[in-house]
Structure 1
């Protein structure tokens, strides 16, 4: 299975890869998202370790059950060869209506087919008021004309 763009990445293809990842996560479809990763992909997400697509699906199912109205923006930070570093921020709320903006960084490693085999994520959560939300697009893909992280000052 090939998942273009594939390494080695150029600035253009790295930006495209980041946007495709953002779009996938904004679908909130764990099965769809898992297909962007190798069958034996390894993750560190905060202090949780996830191995393989089945665990990715389980992890994302749990995540999006408790992180409601999830909306994410990713931005390329750096790239070289088959590695990409991104920064991101997402907004969501819990079942009690408490809103959060979570900020983080990810380091990615890809195989020759463009599937991610390693994902290392560090994330910090900030409680926000609903009035402080910055992501107001309908659930799903972020519109092309919506501000990115740098534009929002995040």
Structure 2
């Protein structure tokens, strides 16, 4: 260190440091208790009004959806029945193609002998589940086996 530099010690400012604030400072109040209760009551009333207005809309929408579902249900059922009969026809055609080389085989019989003797020939005999899906791929059978909405 050179002898020409003057040494100056760090000292407190003149008059000393400020006092350290240690007293409790309460939080600032924005609303009184009555204002809080009134605000809660107002918000709750507004919520109830909005809820009941929206429930009117929901009920009206549910009625419209139910009416639409009831209107289209016969068409859906008819389409389901048409597809059922088409699949029965495909099964019959597949059986005919599969058994074409077997002598004495007539489709819908057991070697020309009717399976049910007491039922007229033109009566529709509904096949069981596995017979219905006998000539389709396994994926269709598995998909339908686990589908429970249209039972």
- TM value normalised by structure 2: 0.25
**Structure of larger gyration radius:** 2
Question: Larger RCO: Structure 1 or Structure 2 (Cα < 8 Å, ≥ 6 residues apart)?
Answer: 1
Name the one with the larger helix percent.
2
Name the one with the larger strand percent.
1
